[in-house]
Amino acid sequence: MVEKVVLLSGPIASGKTSLRQSLKERFDVFPVITGEGIRQRFPKANRVREEYQKLGDRLDRRKGVNWVLADLEKVERNAPDGCIIVVDSVRIQRQIDEIRNAYGRRVIHIHLSAPKEVLASRYQTRASARYREVRHYDQLQANKTERNISKLAQNADVVIDTNMCSPADVFVRAAAHIGFYGRNFQRSVDVLVGGQYGSEGKGHIAHYLAPEYQLLIRVGGPNAGHTVYSPRYTFHSLPSGTGCSPSSRLLIGPGAVVFVPTLLREIADCHVDKNRLSIDPQVMLITNQDIRKESVLRDTIASTASGAGAAQARRIMGRSKSVKLAKDEKALRPFIKESCAVLDDAYARGDSIFLEGTQGTGLSLFHGQYPHVTSRDTTVTGCLAESGISSSRVRKVVMVCRSYPIRVQDPAADGLTSGPMSREVTWATVAERSGIPEDELKKAEVTSTTGRQRRVAEFDWYLLRKAASLNAPTDIALTFVDYLAGTNKRARRFEQLKSDTIRFIEEIERVACAPVTLISTRFHERSIIDRRAW
């Protein structure tokens, strides 16, 4: 059964065809084009505007037959349940009344208008593929139906003066009346962020959760690598669920920065096409010069020197110059689409949306230990701003923490590190406590992006509280619990964890004021204990 029937009316050149085409392109509505109906009934007719007007009047005079309703019912029979049909256009009140009698409250009549002089000016510049147009707009008024069409506005549900609106304005007003944007803001977005200094295992958690969502979003830059299993792969630009959730659509938000060769490699590796991936036109591109500029930070704060920070700075300082964005890159043009439109469509469909943040709260440009910070705000609010999502859309916030926080040590930095940590320990200490060989730990604990060895510290309870205050998580995902006890690797249920580990988790819940609902026992497909109630 059809969900809604949208009737378009208005004088020639009022914008009906543009509106119908925009609705078809954006929302995939099913069109009924009355001009095509006339052509099919009179295939030998001259393709002249005046001739089609006369033939339409001839069809209208047939007693007991509403040919527009008949075409509408034909489209409905071949359309899926729940579809929306747009009729372009209705020309007399009887057509409208009989369609309303057949479909009741599912009918929405939108009338477009404009001053005559504006219509005449538009008509002189239009080019129709269906008709040979008359020379002057006044000639169209010789047809009585066209002359009286403005009277249909009296009983229309919506009247839009297209002279006072741009085509985009007309589109959003019509779409809102049809109900494509809904009547309120549903909380359909879940956000994943790191609670420490990055490398908390966000990719592992995102990979596990991704199949539950229709839209996956990534923000940040290639200075953050998220590694997933099955098969093992490190994502720097695409969402971590790209491979494990092939039916999910993908979006890179406008606040992201990308290095084109890295992004194109991931697109190719994961066989992602233009129908699945959308890249906002305002995504910032990293240049080779950006990477060179950041090389000094590699030896001072152990930066990844990926160019993300330099690109962000250039985005701010280069506003008086020609700054190249994603929309300007030929290789990315097939994927370019405004994130606002992608998100609006997802909201209208009631899709579940997953926003994957990068790095960790302790690295936030504003809330971390400056200058040992990254080039962006890594909290929930920062990720939302980069993606163009309002906080009123958020349903769940999952904050990922690991049992032993880490930061990197740069061997070339003559003892300089990526920043301080509270109560640093050695991997030998972790090995002794967990029973996992030290060599195995060190082999696993190298950074995804630069391959540098990580430093390790005791769990930072103060940082946990600060991160919880900044992010207000609804859930905590605790990773690397095998580092607390190697036997935790064998746990498949919560009660199988060591008693000390369970007490540790209970303490995290008290300090963070949020439940630990996801627990990663190792880097494996069956490694996550899921305690969620959602």
pLDDT of residue 436: 95
Banded pLDDT at 94 (limits 50, 70, 90): very high
Q: What is the mean pLDDT of the chain?
A: 90
CA 520 vs. chain centroid, Å, equals 27
- For residue 373, the number of C-alpha atoms closer than 13 Å in the C-beta half-sphere is 16
Amino acid at 510: R
More confident of the two residues 412 and 19: 19
Instruction: Please tell me the chain's helix, strand, coil percentages from 3-state DSSP, rounded to the nearest 5.
Output: 40, 20, 40
On whether the CB atoms of residues 230 and 244 are closer than 8 A, the answer is: yes
pLDDT of residue 184: 75
Whats the size of the chain, residue-wise? Answer: 534
Banded pLDDT at 311 (limits 50, 70, 90): confident
- pLDDT of 416 > 60? The answer is no
In DSSP terms, 193 is beta-bridged to: 399
More confident of the two residues 86 and 448: 86
Closest to 402 measured CA to CA, from 432, 445, 371:
445
Closest to 481 measured CA to CA, from 506, 498, 461:
498
Kindly report, residue by residue over 139-172, the tens digit of the pLDDT: 888 889 999 999 999 999 999 999 999 999 999 9
* Contact partners, residue 97, CB within 8 Å, separation at least 6: none
Please report, rounded to a whole number, the percentage of residues in the chain having pLDDT higher than 90.
70
Tokens matching residue 151? 């009277």
* Contact partners, residue 104, CB within 8 Å, separation at least 6: none
State how far the Cα of 205 lies from the Cα of 439, in Å rounded to an integer: 25
Angle subtended by helix axes 461-471 and 499-512, to nearest 10: 50
Closest to 213 measured CA to CA, from 34, 351, 414, 48:
351
Closest to 18 measured CA to CA, from 158, 96, 112, 153:
112
pTM: 0.85
Helices marked H in 181-244: 202-209
Banded pLDDT at 300 (limits 50, 70, 90): low
pLDDT of residue 104: 95
pLDDT of residue 221: 87
H/E run at residue 151: none
